[in-house]
Structures are given as C-alpha cells and as structure tokens.
Structure 1
C-alpha cells in the first residue's frame, strides 16, 4: 500500500519510528513532514495527508501529534477523509473493517512506541468488510451526511 505519514513537532520522534516500521512491512511510505522537532502547526500536516488521499496518490494515511486530537479534527474537515484516533489495536483494525477508516491518528504523548507499532500493524493489516451489508449501509450514510453539508458549506 501507499501510505502518507506526517506529524507536527510533538509527533516527530514517533513518526520517525512508525515510518521505518511501515517501510519495513513493505509499504511505499510518503513522509510529508515534519522533518525535525522545530515548532510546527498540526493542521498543515493533516491537510498534506488529506490532500494526498483525496487525489488518490496514497491508499491510507497516518497522522501523529501530541494528543492526536488536533490532527484528527483537522483531517476530518476534508471530504472523503475518515480519520480516527486509535490508542489500542482493536480500534485500529475495527475502524478500518467496519467504518473504512483511511487515516490512523495517534497521540505521541499518550502512547509509547511499542503500542504504536502494534496499532500500526493492526491498521495496515485490516481491510473494509464490504460484504457486511450493515457496514456498507452505515458508510454510505456517513458519505451522504458529508455530501449534504458540503453542498451547504459551498453556498
């Protein structure tokens, strides 16, 4: 898979570790920054990952900031982005399997590197279960909500 990964300064160290893990698992990693621990703004990185997904340049994304909350909020403002904060492996795979989550979000000040690695593995190994009618129905409802309010926002 093609994976876009980004983090602000607070998530930089964990992003570096995760980037190596994802590449080591055989995925094509697109590192969109930050490239150091100088203060930076999480919305910039959320937008970079979201834009790559919207263009179809990547299959999934991973975002990291201090708590995970900031990048999650910012990413979910973009059409077609389904970002979820996961600080456990169950949420990481269930979010993909049931909800077609396409951006994994983690908080570097919340979880350690070993757990982050397990979460990333669970996320990347999962796939949306479109054979379950209820999952497809619910995802279509989420997409319909997005379409309704996007058209309102554009007026």
Structure 2
C-alpha cells in the first residue's frame, strides 16, 4: 500500500522511526513533513494527506502530533475522510475493520516509539470487510453529505 505520513515538530522523531518500520513491512511511504524539530503547525500536513487520500493518491495515512487529537480533528475536516486516534493495537485494528478509517493518528507524547510501530502495523495489516459496519459508515457519510449540501448543520 501507499501510505502518507506526516507530523508536527512534537512527533518528528516518532514519525521518522515509524516511517522506516512501515517501509520494512513492504509499504511505500510518502512523507508530508515536517522534516525537522523546527516548530510547525499540524493542520496543513493533515489537510494535505487527507486531500491526497480523497484524490486516490494514497491508500491510507498515519499522522503524528503530540496527542494525536489535533491531527485527527484536522484530517476529519476534509469531506469523506474518517480519521481515528489510536494508541493501542485493538483500536488500530478496529479503526480499519469497523470504521474503514483512511487515516490513523498517534500521539508521540502519549505512547512510545516501539508501541507506535506495533499500532501502525496493526492498522495496516487489516482491511475493511463491510458487513454490519458498512451500514453504519454509510449513515455517517450520508449525514456528512447532507450537511455539505444544506450548508448548515443545525
């Protein structure tokens, strides 16, 4: 699979190490930055990865910031994207199996690098199978389309 990765400065080192691990698993990795420990705002990175997923340039994305929360919120602002914050193997598997999440986020100040590698591996080794979960994902996506078409949510 072609995996987009990105981080802010808080998670630069973790991104670099997990990126190498993902490559060792046989995946192609596209790095969207940041490229050093210099301070950078994460929304732009999240928006670009999410946009490229929607344009079918990437299969999935893994984003890193201090907590994983900000990256997930930002990625979820791109219509059609489902991003899930994960800090354990079970959640990473379920993000894909139950929610068909195209992006997973990890907090570098929440878990260590070795666990982050295992969480990323768990996310990448499974694929959405549909079933009962497909109906629920369809409901979520239908509501998003409704909000976009109506121009308001409330």
Displacement of 1:48 in angstroms is 1.2
Question: Partner of 1:153 in structure 2?
Answer: 151
Question: Partner of 1:15 in structure 2?
Answer: 15
Cα distance in 2 for residues equivalent to 1:90 and 1:54 = 25
Displacement of 1:32 in angstroms is 0.6
Which residues of structure 2 form unaligned runs of 5+?
none
TM-score normalised over the length of structure 2: 0.96
Question: Partner of 1:135 in structure 2?
Answer: 133
1:100 aligns with 2:100: yes
Which runs of 4 or more aligned residues in structure 1 lie more than 2 Å from their structure 2 counterparts after TM superposition? none
Displacement of 1:153 in angstroms is 2.9
RMSD: 1.0
Question: Partner of 2:60 in structure 1?
Answer: 60
TM-score normalised over the length of structure 1: 0.95
Any idea what the Cα deviations from partners look like across 1:114-145, whole Å, max 9, x if unmatched? Answer: 11011001000011012x2x111001101101
Which residues of structure 1 form unaligned runs of 5+?
none
User: What are the within-5 Å matches in structure 2 for residues 20-35 of structure 1?
Assistant: 20-35=20-35
Question: Partner of 1:76 in structure 2?
Answer: 76
